[in-house]
Amino acid sequence: MSASQSLPTHDIPVKDNTIKGAQLPLVILADLDDSEKTRLIQHLQGSVKNGESLTAHVWQPSTETLQSIAKQGVFPDSQANIHATAVLASRAGWDGLLVADQLTKRQLTGTLRVGEYPTVSAVMVSIRPATGEGQIRIFAKRTAGPTWPIGGDEHELVYEDILTELSTFEPTAPNRENNPFPDAGLALHDPERRPWSPETCGILGWEERPEAGDSRIELGKGEIQHSRDHLNVLLLFPATEKEQKATESALQQAIVQLNQREDCEDGEDGESSSPPHVHVIPLDSRQTTSRRQLIELWDACQRSLPLNSIQWEVFLLKEPIQDVANVELEVVTCRYGAYKFARNSLSQIVERSYSVLEVVFAPEHPFYVTTPDWQSTSYALTWIPVFYLTNKLTPEQDKAVRDELVKLTDGDFADYKSVCYVPWTKDESREGNLDDMWEVFWDLYTHERGRAVPCGTSTPVFFIDRQSAIDQTVIAAEADTLYIPRDKKTAASELLEGLDVPQLRGFMYNRIPAAEAHSAFINLGIANMGFDEFGDEEQVKTYPRPGWPGHGILKDEDDE
C-alpha cells in the first residue's frame, strides 16, 4: 500500500528500503521494559520460516496520541486502539503490524491469570485492500494461544510461520467451540462509524467527532416489555406520539398478516401461533448510529430489565416507514461475547431467521479474554471460584489448603484442577462473615445475568477461613431457591413481582473437604447431585436473603 501524505501518522515508523526481508511495525500498548521488548522481538523473529528474516520497528504511542485517535477507557490495549493504530499504519504504507498488549506482558513475565497460556504471543493485524476505492479490511488474530478442536480438549495453537498466517487467514464467526482471538480471528471496525460502513485509511470517526461516543444511554425500568409475546422496536428517528402509534399499528398489522400466512403454509396439521405484540420505544433526541452506540443501546436494554432477565435481540427502526411491505429492521444480538448486527425483513423476524452481516466485540475491551478475578479465562479448564475470608493464614497453612483443593480424587472428572483465588481485602482488621459471603454470592450469581458460564453456573462459591487451616475444609455456598411457575399467577409471583431474581431467597452453606470442591462445583452446576450430598448433611444451614419479602410466608410445595 502506498503511504497517505494528507492525514497524520503520528510518527509511526515507515519502511526502511535498505533492509532486506520482511518488516512490520511493532506497536507497544503495554508497559514493557527494554529487556521484555528484546525478548518479544526475538520470539517473533523465531516465529517465521527458517531462512526468512523479520525486522520489527518498535513504536509506543503516547497517551496523547491514543486520545486523539480513539476513545479511551480502562484498557490501553483496547480493540479500538488496535484498530486506530492499524489505520495509522495503513496511512504510512504498511499492510500489517504486530501489537504487544498486557497479555503479552503477562506471558513474558510469567504472571498469567488462570486459563491463560504461557507461550508468548502478540496480536498480528492484517491490512488488506477491499473492493471500493480507498477501502481496506482490517483483520486481527493472536500469534499463538488456546483453541478448542471439535471432539478434543483445549490445546495450544502455535503457527509455524506468522507471516504466512498474517497474510492469509480469514476470520470465522465466533462460537462456543473456538476462541476468537487466537483461533477464529476478528475483523476490526471503526467503532464510531455505523455498521456496514466501509473501512478506509481516511479520517477516523473519533478524529472527526471525538465527542460522539461520550453519551451513556439509559432506558427507564419497564420501557422494554420483556416477555415471549412482545416485539420491542426502538425508533432511531424523532417521532411524535401520534407518529409512534401509527408506526406501532403498521408494524403490528404487517406482523399479524405474516403470522397468518405462515400458519396457512403450515397446513391444517400445523399449530396456529399468536403474533407478538409490537411495542415501539422512542429514543427521543438520543442519536444512536455508531457501532459503539448500538452496543451501548443493547447493554442499556439489559440494564433496564430485572437481573434475571435478558433481551437477546434488540430491534431498531432507522427511519419512518414508507412501505410497510418492504420495511427492514436492524437487529443487534449478543452471543459468546460478540455483538452481531443484521438487517432483516419482517418475515425473517417472524420466522426468527436472522442473517448476520457484521460481528464486533466491545471496542473498549482488549484482544484477549477478560473475566473477573474469580473466573477462569478458559472454560475448557476444570476450575472453581475460591474467596478468602481471612488474611491470617501462615504460608504453610495456606499451602496445605491449596494442595487439598487441587488434589485429585477418585470422583474427579478431570486430571487437572484449577482454582481462581480472590484474597480478603475488604477490611484487613477483621475477618469475613456471612454477610460478606452473601455480597460475594450475589455478585457471582447475578454476574452477566446469571449467564457468565456457558455450561452450568457460576456457583457454588467456596470460602477459605481460619478453620480451613485446621481441617483443610472450605465453606461451600449454593443458591437456596423457591420454585415459581413461569406461566401462571401464584401468591409467590404476586408477592415477589418486580424483585430482581425473585426466586433466590438466600444461600445454603456447609463445610466440605477441600478436595471435594471441584466435584461439588461440577455436579451442582449440572444438577447431577444435591447440595446435601457434600459434607455432613446435618450441618447444612441457610442464610436468608436480606430484604426478600417471602421469608416466613412463602414455602416450597414439598414443605406445605
- pLDDT of residue 475 exceeding 90, the answer is yes
pLDDT, tens only, 397-423: 999 999 999 998 877 677 789 999 999
Question: What is the mean pLDDT of the segment spanning 280-299?
Answer: 83
Q: What local confidence, expressed as pLDDT, does residue 465 receive? A: 98
The alpha helices in 287-379, defined as continuous H runs, are 291-303, 346-351
Question: What is the mean pLDDT of the segment spanning 118-136?
Answer: 93
- pLDDT of residue 268 exceeding 60, the answer is no
Q: What local confidence, expressed as pLDDT, does residue 178 receive? A: 63
Residues in contact with 553: Cβ distance below 8 Å, sequence separation at least 6, in sequence order: 495
Q: Assess whether the previous peptide bond of 198 is cis (omega < 30° from 0).
A: no
Percent of the chain with pLDDT over 90: 61
- pLDDT of residue 337 exceeding 50, the answer is yes
CA distance 328 to 315: 10
DSSP bridge pairs for 27: 59, 99
Say which range, 42-51, 80-89, 106-115, 418-427, has the weakest mean pLDDT.
Answer: 42-51
Element (H, E) at 491: helix 491-495
Q: Is pLDDT larger for residue 550 or for residue 152? A: 550
Question: What is the mean pLDDT of the segment spanning 40-56?
Answer: 91
Question: What is the mean pLDDT of the segment spanning 62-74?
Answer: 96
Q: What local confidence, expressed as pLDDT, does residue 43 receive? A: 95
- pLDDT of residue 454 exceeding 60, the answer is no
Q: What local confidence, expressed as pLDDT, does residue 295 receive? A: 93
- pLDDT of residue 488 exceeding 90, the answer is no
Q: What local confidence, expressed as pLDDT, does residue 192 receive? A: 94
Count CB neighbours of 338 within 10 A: 18
DSSP bridge pairs for 418: 383
Question: What is the mean pLDDT of the segment spanning 428-432?
Answer: 92
Banded pLDDT at 349 (limits 50, 70, 90): confident
Q: What local confidence, expressed as pLDDT, does residue 55 receive? A: 97
Joined together, the cell numbers standing for residue 355 give 442473517
3-state secondary structure of 388: strand
DSSP class of 3: P
Say which range, 68-77, 217-226, 231-240, 395-404, has the weakest mean pLDDT.
Answer: 217-226
- pLDDT of residue 16 exceeding 80, the answer is yes
Q: How do 418-422 and 461-464 pair as beta strands?
A: unpaired
Banded pLDDT at 158 (limits 50, 70, 90): confident
- pLDDT of residue 530 exceeding 50, the answer is yes
Banded pLDDT at 151 (limits 50, 70, 90): very low
Q: What local confidence, expressed as pLDDT, does residue 381 receive? A: 83
Q: Is pLDDT larger for residue 264 or for residue 507? A: 507
Question: What is the mean pLDDT of the segment spanning 464-480?
Answer: 97
Q: What local confidence, expressed as pLDDT, does residue 269 receive? A: 54
The alpha helices in 370-427, defined as continuous H runs, are 395-405
Q: Read out DSSP for 254-285?
A: HHHHHHHHHHHHH-TTSPP-PPPEEEEEE-TT
Mean pLDDT of the chain: 88
Joined together, the cell numbers standing for residue 438 give 452473601
Q: What local confidence, expressed as pLDDT, does residue 305 receive? A: 87
What is the b/e burial string over 403-432, where b = at least 16 CB atoms within 10 angstroms of the residue's CB?
ebbbeeeeebeeeebbbbbbebeeeeeebb
Banded pLDDT at 150 (limits 50, 70, 90): very low
- pLDDT of residue 62 exceeding 90, the answer is yes
Which one, of 339, 357, 360, lies nearest residue 348 by Cα?
357
Q: Read out DSSP for 505-534?
A: EEEEEEEEEGGGHHHHHHHHHTTSS-GGGS
Banded pLDDT at 306 (limits 50, 70, 90): confident
CA distance 78 to 297: 20
Banded pLDDT at 147 (limits 50, 70, 90): low
Say which range, 148-162, 288-302, 368-382, 391-405, has the weakest mean pLDDT.
Answer: 148-162
- Tally of residues, the chain: 560
Say which range, 125-129, 264-268, 356-360, has the weakest mean pLDDT.
Answer: 264-268
CA distance 262 to 539: 57
Q: Is pLDDT larger for residue 15 or for residue 274? A: 15
Q: What local confidence, expressed as pLDDT, does residue 445 receive? A: 92
Residues in contact with 416: Cβ distance below 8 Å, sequence separation at least 6, in sequence order: 381, 382
DSSP class of 197: P
Percent of the chain with pLDDT over 70: 90
Q: Is pLDDT larger for residue 184 or for residue 313? A: 313
Angle, CA 407 vertex, CA 464 and CA 116 arms, to 5°: 80
Distances (CA, A) of 374 to 49, 112, 167, 266, 355: 40, 14, 37, 49, 36
Domain 230-360 sits in CATH 2.50.20: no
Question: What is the mean pLDDT of the segment spanning 104-109?
Answer: 98
CA distance 214 to 71: 8
CA distance 101 to 104: 5
Q: What local confidence, expressed as pLDDT, does residue 559 receive? A: 52
Banded pLDDT at 221 (limits 50, 70, 90): confident
pLDDT, tens only, 175-213: 665 678 888 899 999 999 999 898 888 899 999 988 765
Domain boundaries, the chain: 22-208, 230-360, 383-559
pLDDT, tens only, 84-98: 999 999 999 999 999
- pLDDT of residue 263 exceeding 80, the answer is no
DSSP bridge pairs for 125: 97, 140
Banded pLDDT at 307 (limits 50, 70, 90): confident
CA distance 46 to 136: 29
Residues in contact with 538: Cβ distance below 8 Å, sequence separation at least 6, in sequence order: none
